Every structure is written in structure tokens, then in C-alpha cells.
Amino acid sequence: MEDKTYLSIAYLGMILGLAIWTWTTISRSRKLELRIIAMEESLNIKQAEADSIAAANDKPAE
């Protein structure tokens, strides 16, 4: 293979990897955010209560 073919393969692979990683992260964050909104609506949770749930999140399951 030529030099430039190697160069292209290396950068295309890295660009693809970066794009997949970033897209996955952002879309996961958006999906979870929408799910939280839907769950809070179904529980009829007000903002102050939601904040207290958020504060309790930091404790792991025993």
C-alpha cells in the first residue's frame, strides 16, 4: 500500500471512533434526560422534590 493510503486509513479510523464515541455519549445523555422528565411527570414530582432525589443519588446500593 502507498504511504497516503496508510495515512487515510489511520485518520478515518480515528475520526470514525471519535464520532461514534461522542455521538453515543451525547445521545445516551439526552435519552436519560427525557426518561427522567417522563418519570418525574408520572410521579408528579415538583422541582424541590426532584432536587432532593438528585442529592440522594450519590449513595450506592448496599
**Which positions lie near another protein, rule CB under 8 A?**
1, 3-4, 6-7, 9-11, 13-14, 17-18, 21-22, 25-26, 28-30, 32-33, 35-37, 39-40, 42-43, 45, 53-54, 56-62
d(CA 40, CA 47) in angstroms, rounded, equals 9
CB atoms within 10 A of CB 53: 13
User: Cβ 52 to another protein, closest distance in Å?
Assistant: 10
Cβ contacts of residue 41 below 8 Å, gap of 6+?
Answer: none
